[in-house]
Amino acid sequence: MAKETIIVGSGINSLVAGAILARAGVKVKVLERNKYLGGAIRTESATLPGYVHELLSSWHPLFVGGPAYAELKEELEKRGLSYKNTPMPTGVVCKAGSAVLFTDPNQLGAEMSRLGDGDNWSSFMAEFGNKIDLAFGLLGTDFWRPSSLKLARNAQKRLGRRGVLAAGSELLEPAISWLEREFKSEVTRALLAPWALHNGLGPDDAASAFITKVISAAIAFGGMPVPLGGGIHLVEALSQIITDNGGTLETSADVVEILVNDSKDEVAGVVLSDGRRFESVNIIASTTPTSLYGQLLAKLEKPKEVSSSVASFRYGRAAIQIHLALSGKPEWKDDSRLGDVAIVHVLDDMNSLSESVNAANRGFLPKRPTIVVGQPCAVDPSRAPAGASILWIQLQENPRVIKGDLASEISSGDGSWNSERLNAYADRVISQLSERIPNLASITKARLVLGPNEIEAMNKNLVGGDPYAGDCRVDQYAPWRPLAAASGHKTFLKGLWHIGASTHPGPGLGGGSGFMVAKRLTKRSFIERVLFRK
C-alpha cells in the first residue's frame, strides 16, 4: 500500500483520489497551480450579486451514479453536501417540434407514444437495459487490469461468442444510422442525438451511438442532479475528507517538474515554480499527456513510442460558455414545459447537428449551432434571487482556430477568438435562442461570455478551449486513451500515475480515473490480506 502520495491538480479526479487515499491512511498532498481548488468546477457570482454560476462544469449525473459517490456518500453528506434532482432532466426543441425526457417511466412512455416512438423506445430500453451493466462496466473498467477479464467473461456468458462479436460492431456504430433505423420521429432523434456531443463526439463519428445510448439511459434512470448551492460544495466536502484524514491541499502551487531517481526508472518528487521541492514515492498527475510528458518530464528521456504518441495526440473542438443573469423565468414559446427542464437542446434537426460538427472540425463557424441551454434554477432555485433565474449555455461545435464562417457574417481574421469575434458569435447564438424564448432579451440583466482563450486560461488542461482534454474519437478513447503507446493510468515510471479527462474513462464530471487509481494504490497485498484478515 502506498505510504505517501503527491497529487498534481485538484479537479474532480484528483479530489476523489485524494479522499479515497486519505481515508485509507495514505499521506496525501494535493498541489494546485490556480488560486482555487476544483479544476473545471468553478462556482462564482460572476455576473451580478446573488446569481450563482457554474462557469465550466455544472451537472453531476456521472458522479452521483458512479462508484466514487457510492463509497463517499455518507462522508460527503456529513460535510454538508446535498444533491437536488429533477424528474425532467432534458428536453429538445427543433423544427419538427419539442419533447421532454422524463425520469418517470410512465410519463416518458406517454411522451414517446405522442411522438410515435413508444414501442421503439420500449424496445430500446428492454434490449439495452438487459446489458446496461455491461455497458457501464466497459466504461468503468481499467482495460489493463485482470478485472477487465471478468467483464469479458461475463459478456461472453451472457451474450455468447456471436453476441459479443455483434456487440463489438454495435459499439462502433455512428449515432445517425442507429437513430434513423430505430426511431421514426425527427423530434425523438433530435432529443437523443446531441448527447454524443457531451462526450466530444459528433453524430457521424464511430461509437457515437453507444455513447448516446449510455447517456440517454443514464439520464432516464438517474436524472440531472446538482449540488445544492453549487459545485463548490462538492469541492469543499472532498477537500475536508482529505484534511480531516491528515492530508493537505495547497493552491498557487504550480508543479513544473517531476523528479526521478538516479536510475531514472522511479519518481522521487516534484519541483514547484517557486523552487520548493517535495519528495514522494507516488505521484498522481491530473494533466494532459502533452503536459505530463512534454513539460513535467521534459528533462527525462522517454521511450520512443511514447514520445511519438505524444507528438500525434490531438485536441478536439473548442467550447464556449455563455452565462446569463435573468430578472425572470424564460418563457419557451413552443412548449411551456421546457421552463422546468434542466438541459434543453436547441437545434434545427440532426442534419444541422451533423453540419455544425463537421464545420467546426474543418475550422468553420456553424451557421445554426446546437445550443445546450442549462437551466440550473429548474433544479436548484437558490442559484438566483427570488423570481429570477440564470442560464448556463454551452456551445460544443466551435473550431479552435477560425478559418471561416458558414453564415458569411464574421471575418476569420487571423483565426483567433478575439473579443470581437467571440461576442459576434455569442450574439448569433442568443438571437437563435430568442426565436424559442421571446422574452429572453427583456429579462437579461447581465451576460458573461467565456471563449476558448478564457476557458484554457481557467484550466490549462482544456487546451485551446477543448473541454474534454483531448479528441474523444475512437482512436483516442477507451483502451487507447490517453495514448496508443501509453494506455491506462500506470506510466513507464514506477510510482507515476496518470489521471484526468485525458485518460480512461474519459471526460465528464465523474471522478472515474481518480477512483480507479486510488483503489489500486490502496489494495492490500496477498500477505496483508492474510495477516490482517478480519
Tens of pLDDT, residues 384-408: 999 999 999 999 999 999 999 999 9
Q: What was the pLDDT predicted at 532?
A: 41
Mean pLDDT across the stretch 505-531? Answer: 79
Rounded-to-integer distance, Cα 105 and Cα 139, Å: 25
Residue 523: pLDDT over 90: no
Q: Which of 346, 276, 272, 360 is nearest to 316 (CA)?
A: 360
Query: Phi, psi at residue 266, to the nearest 5°?
Result: -150, 145
Q: What was the pLDDT predicted at 153?
A: 63
Percent share of the chain, pLDDT over 90: 84
Q: What was the pLDDT predicted at 140?
A: 65
Q: What was the pLDDT predicted at 242?
A: 98
Give the global pTM: 0.93
Q: Which of 240, 279, 273, 241 is nearest to 259 (CA)?
A: 279
Q: What was the pLDDT predicted at 127?
A: 82
Query: Phi, psi at residue 462, to the nearest 5°?
Result: -90, 65
Rounded-to-integer distance, Cα 176 and Cα 205, Å: 9
Please name the helix (run of DSSP H) or strand (run of DSSP E) that holds residue 520, with its range, or none: helix 512-521
Rounded-to-integer distance, Cα 151 and Cα 148, Å: 5
Grid coordinates given for 351:
442534419
Give the number of other Cβ atoms within 10 Å of residue 527's Cβ: 8
Q: What was the pLDDT predicted at 527?
A: 43
Average pLDDT, rounded, for the chain: 92
Q: What was the pLDDT predicted at 531?
A: 42
Residue 159: pLDDT over 60: no
Cell 453476441, residue located: 163
Mean pLDDT across the stretch 289-317? Answer: 95
Give the three-class secondary structure for 214. helix
Alpha-helical (H) ranges within 340-382 are: 350-361
The one-letter amino acid at 210: F
Residue 234: pLDDT over 70: yes
Mean pLDDT across the stretch 357-369? Answer: 97
Q: Domains of the chain (ranges plus CATH)? A: 4-41+63-83+230-313+471-531 (3.50.50.60), 105-222 (no CATH), 317-458 (no CATH)
pLDDT tens digit string along 245-292? 999 999 999 999 999 999 889 999 999 999 999 999 999 999 999 999
3-state helix, strand, coil in the chain (%, to 5): 40, 20, 40
pLDDT confidence of 4, banded at 50, 70, 90? confident
Rounded-to-integer distance, Cα 481 and Cα 154, Å: 24
Rounded-to-integer distance, Cα 281 and Cα 532, Å: 24
Mean pLDDT across the stretch 5-9? Answer: 97
In contact, 369 and 130? CB cutoff 8 Å: no
Cα separations in angstroms, 215 against 56, 132, 195, 338, 468: 19, 11, 7, 20, 16
Q: What was the pLDDT predicted at 164?
A: 52
Cα separations in angstroms, 24 against 242, 283, 511, 520: 10, 17, 17, 12
Q: What was the pLDDT predicted at 479?
A: 83
